[in-house]
Amino acid sequence: MATSFPDSADTGPHGPRQLVSTLAWLRLCAVAGQALTVAFVATWLDLPIAVLPLATGIAVLAAFALFAFWRLTRPWPVGSVEAVVHIAIDTIVLGYLLYLTGGATNPFVSLLVMPITLTAAALPRLYVAAVATLAAATYLVLLRWYQPLPYVHSDHTYNVFNLHVAGMAISFVITAGLLGFFIAGLAAALRARQAASEHERERALRDEGILAIATQAAGTAHELNTPLSTMRTLLTELRREHGQDPQLTEDLALLAGQADRCRDILRELVAVGRTQLAGKADRTTIGAYVDAARRSFALLRPEIELDYRPDETLADRPVHIVPALRHALVNLLNNAGDASRSAGQVRITLEAAISGGHLELRVRDFGHGLDAPQGPPAIGFVSTKRDGLGLGLALTKATAERLGGELVAQRPEGGGTLQRLRLPLRVLDNAGHDV
């Protein structure tokens, strides 16, 4: 159970370091508010309060606030115990100031609840219990020992009561504001963590499916090599025997070309697997990378017109491309071609640009578009195409996320779908990136 309360854990949006930082800023606000209050009561209301002892307590709190800011500039980790010490000092100083100004009858005594709230939002229960015990003990002490607030004379009783009510109102506003702020922040952090956890779970399930498919694909590639070699041999013989028939010769040549393409795909599949296992990337340029994908797509889908809009300023920029990225772009082009064909179109567009430190590849089709006007479509092992396997976008999305990028689908003006493959340049510039 000891590992559940790491004293040195200072990471996260609501950890000990963040708590100490928040306390430092609140402490400065408290010093300013307390100084103004003492000055107002002593000068404007002309009440005989212990100004010098109160000023001493406020000065101690101000000095500790400066020390806390200096401490946060140090590289040392902030532990839970240290955060509790900061809260304890704040509580003791607040108790001292309350002791001089009416103790538990002071309307600002409710501020003793705030350290408990802040601790509950950042630290484990053991430390929350310690802070709650300290706050409760301070309150009980102030019930018995304190210096009463002075009353000038009896005919001011009504005005004094009004001041007490005003103090209660101010204390309520401060407490409500801080509680709302920190509880809302904690709830937002919990929702973000839950969403991140769900995203990682979906990603793990998807990657598990991709791994299973990859394993099956490796075995299938090995098994297909033999029948593919037989087909290529038979096609060669058929072309030699029926060379006098031009139409048949043309069809056989097309089949032979497709068989050669299948052979190249199988060889490339094996090469991709080896390269992925080694975590190596090929040094090339953006222009060469896009041109290679265009050539592969032209062989795969010769009936589709690819409108490529090159940016000459990017053509010679060096990058490191893993083989999976070549397939990712070809997958996007292939899906765009299918979408355009489904709407009776034969045109798609491709653009490459650099935006916000990312290489952005934009592939647009002229099909029926997304079902919803905004937001990306669900990308997974689901296909709306009659002969689709639902793998293209899933593999592309997985590749992008593995490299720290993203795949975003949008509905552009004029219809169709725009797929934006965004890849961080800091990763593409790193030859040793492990994928």
Tell me what the mean pLDDT of segment 341-346 comes to: 88
Lowest mean pLDDT among 31-35, 221-225, 243-247, 314-318: 221-225
Please answer whether residues 127 and 115 qualify as being in contact, where contact means their C-beta atoms are separated by less than 8 angstroms: no
Residue 271: predicted pLDDT: 62
Q: Is 178 or 369 the better-scoring residue by pLDDT? A: 369
Pairing of strands 318-321, 282-285: antiparallel
Tell me what the mean pLDDT of segment 294-310 comes to: 86
Tell me what the mean pLDDT of segment 19-35 comes to: 86
Closest to 273 (Cα-Cα) out of 216, 206, 189, 320: 216
Please answer whether residues 314 and 287 qualify as being in contact, where contact means their C-beta atoms are separated by less than 8 angstroms: yes
Beta-bridge partners for 282: 321
Contacts of 350 (CB under 8 A, 6+ apart): 290, 294, 306, 307, 308, 309, 333, 361, 362, 363, 364
Tens-digit pLDDT profile for residues 29-52:
889 888 888 888 788 777 778 889
- Asked if the model's pLDDT at residue 8 lies above 90, the reply is no
Domains, the chain, ordered by start:
16-146 (no CATH), 279-371+381-434 (3.30.565.10)
Q: What percentage of the chain exceeds 90 in pLDDT?
A: 18
Pairing of strands 347-355, 305-309: parallel
Residue 172: predicted pLDDT: 76
3-state secondary structure of 172: helix
Determine if the pTM surpasses 0.85: no
Question: CA 434 to CA 250: how far, in whole Å?
Answer: 46
What one-character-per-residue DSSP string does 183-236 give? Answer: HHHHHHHHHHHHHHHHHHHHHHHHHHHHHHHHHHHHHHHHHHHHHHHHHHHHHH
Question: CA 34 to CA 212: how far, in whole Å?
Answer: 65
